[in-house]
């Protein structure tokens, strides 16, 4: 038996203003996109903004549904839109802004498991890391170097091909 360990390093900034200019802009776009969320059931609004290698920025927000499984998270709205509008163009970074209208949150919200898997598909396909920038409606910012850091032992197409 051998014991293995996952080590993930990420950066914590006290606020948006400590970030590089490009990351600040991206997080601001995510924050603005959050206003477009349709979240009448959870009142938890999320905005996401992805910057692509060609400089394009694609945004998304969570879209809920009376039939709960039929809604979609902001992160997947953004990355699927990036994939549909700019097929084959790598995603460099994805910024995520999350919180309720009534109670501003200082707590960054990381992508759910489904979103981690979906974003990881693009990271694996493009062969380059997708940086993840997280912030609540205000407060500290987490910068994660790659979505695979949030999905240890992630499932990808190489497993399908190894049959």
Region for residue 136 given its phi and psi (left: phi exceeds 0; alpha: psi -120 to 50; beta: otherwise): beta
The answer to whether 72 touches 112, Cβ cutoff 8 Å, is no
- The active-site residue, picked from 18, 22, 28, 75, is 75
Site of tokens 């839109």? 81
For residue 48, state whether it binds Zn ion (rule: CB under 5 A): no
What is the nearest approach in angstroms of Zn ion to the Cβ of residue 66? Answer: 19
What is the nearest approach in angstroms of Zn ion to the Cβ of residue 3? Answer: 31
Nearer to Zn ion (CB atom), residue 8 or residue 112: 112
What is the nearest approach in angstroms of Zn ion to the Cβ of residue 108? Answer: 14
For residue 115, state whether it binds Zn ion (rule: CB under 5 A): yes
According to CB under 5 A, which one of 112, 152, 155, 157 is a site residue for Zn ion?
112
Site string (58-87) toward Zn ion, x via CB under 5 A: ---------------x--------------
Find all residues with CB under 8 Å of 48, minimum gap 6, and list them: 30, 33, 59, 60, 61, 74, 75, 77, 78, 79, 94, 95, 96, 97
Whether 103 is catalytic: no
Nearer to Zn ion (CB atom), residue 18 or residue 121: 121
Q: Of the listed pieces 14-22, 97-105, 111-119, 127-135, which binds Zn ion according to CB under 5 A? A: 111-119
Gap between the Cα atoms of 154 and 115, Å rounded: 12
For residue 12, state whether it binds Zn ion (rule: CB under 5 A): no
* Count of residues interacting with Zn ion (CB under 5 A): 3
Q: Cα separations (Å) of 71 from 17, 41, 77, 109?
A: 33, 11, 10, 18
Q: Cα separations (Å) of 25 from 20, 31, 93?
A: 9, 10, 12
Q: Give me the residues that bind Zn ion (CB under 5 A), please.
A: 73, 112, 115
Residue numbers annotated as active site: 75
């Amino acid at each position: 038996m051998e014991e293995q360990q996952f080590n993930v390093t990420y950066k914590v900034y006290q606020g948006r203003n400590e970030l590089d200019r490009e990351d600040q802009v991206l997080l601001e776009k995510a924050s603005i996109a959050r206003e477009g969320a349709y979240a009448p059931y959870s009142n938890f609004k999320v905005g996401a903004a992805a910057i692509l290698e060609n400089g394009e920025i694609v945004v998304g927000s969570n879209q809920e549904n009376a039939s709960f499984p039929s809604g979609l998270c902001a992160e997947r709205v953004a990355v699927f839109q990036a994939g549909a509008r700019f097929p084959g163009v790598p995603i460099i970074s994805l910024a995520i802004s999350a919180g309720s209208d009534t109670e501003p949150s200082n707590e960054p919200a990381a992508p759910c498991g489904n979103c981690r898997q979906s974003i990881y598909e693009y990271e694996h396909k493009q062969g380059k890391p997708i940086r993840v920038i997280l912030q609540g409606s205000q407060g500290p910012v987490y910068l994660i170097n790659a979505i695979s850091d949030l999905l240890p032992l992630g499932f990808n197409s190489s497993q399908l091909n190894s049959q």
